[in-house]
A and B are shown apart, each in its own frame.
Chain A
Amino acid sequence: ELKVEQNPLFLSMQEGKNYTIYCNYSTTSDRLYWYRQDPGKSLESLFVLLSNGAVKQEGRLMASLDTKARLSTLHITAAVHDLSATYFCAVDPTGSARQLTFGSGTQLTVLP
């Protein structure tokens, strides 16, 4: 059974600080996705990572994928309040082409 673990599950950080969210998974995969969810809302696609060493950046967020370590990171640079949300990673196991398995999410709160 594929397991996807995110940590931390809860994160409070001051505006202007940097931090990293980690996503570990238990099976071979070279396709990983990051989503954002605002309270009571749906999921918004942030990044699609499709190969070992892939790095994508959008604004203050940067995502990377290390398929050998089965690890993806979401790095937050100089956090602002608007980044407060829950962030999910999702893994697409190699060869499955069927479904994504989601992590439990990291609830990020950026404090003024």
Chain B
Amino acid sequence: DGGITQSPKYLFRKEGQNVTLSCEQNLNHDAMYWYRQDPGQGLRLIYYSQIVNDFQKGDIAEGYSVSREKKESFPLTVTSAQKNPTAFYLCASSIRLTASSYNEQFFGPGTRLTVL
């Protein structure tokens, strides 16, 4: 079955720790994204990547880092510099990004991060 997987489903972090959230897709999609969702809010873009070894900051990139070494994988690290990381994190992917294509994104199940 094709799809997007995220792990872990729940993650607890102590203050000052870095943690890495996993996102893997087997849809052969070029583009991948990380979003943050706070309770009762919409989604805010953290980082996105259009191709391997390239990524761009979204609206709220401070305190986060990513890598894109493989097409299938786009891990997100929440660093100690992120002051309020407790949130629901969603990974998404889409086929490709061109000016003439549309950008229907497909989402993984999410990781709920809580800072203790």
Q: Which residues of A contact B (CB under 8 A)?
A: 4, 31, 33, 35, 41-45, 48, 50, 88, 90, 92, 95, 97-100, 102-105, 107
Contact = CB atoms under 8 A, between A and B. Distances in A.
Contacts of A90: 43, 105
Interface residues of B, number: 26
Given A88-B43, A99-B45, A48 B109 contact: no
Contacts of B92: 43
B74 interface: no
**Residue among A48, A98, A105 having the largest count of chain B Cβ atoms under 10 Å:** A98
Given A33-B104, A88-B42, A105-B42, A42 B99 contact: no
A103 B42 contact: yes
A33 B102 CA distance: 10
Contacts of A107: 40
Closest 6 CB pairs of A and B: A102-B42, A43-B107, A102-B43, A42-B107, A104-B42, A97-B97
A28 B59 CA distance: 20
B90 A92 contact: no
B53 interface: no
B102 A42 contact: no
A42 B109 contact: yes
Given A42-B108, A45-B106, A97 B101 contact: yes
Contacts of A45: 104-106
Nearest to B33: A99
A58 to B, nearest CB: 15
A37 to B, nearest CB: 9
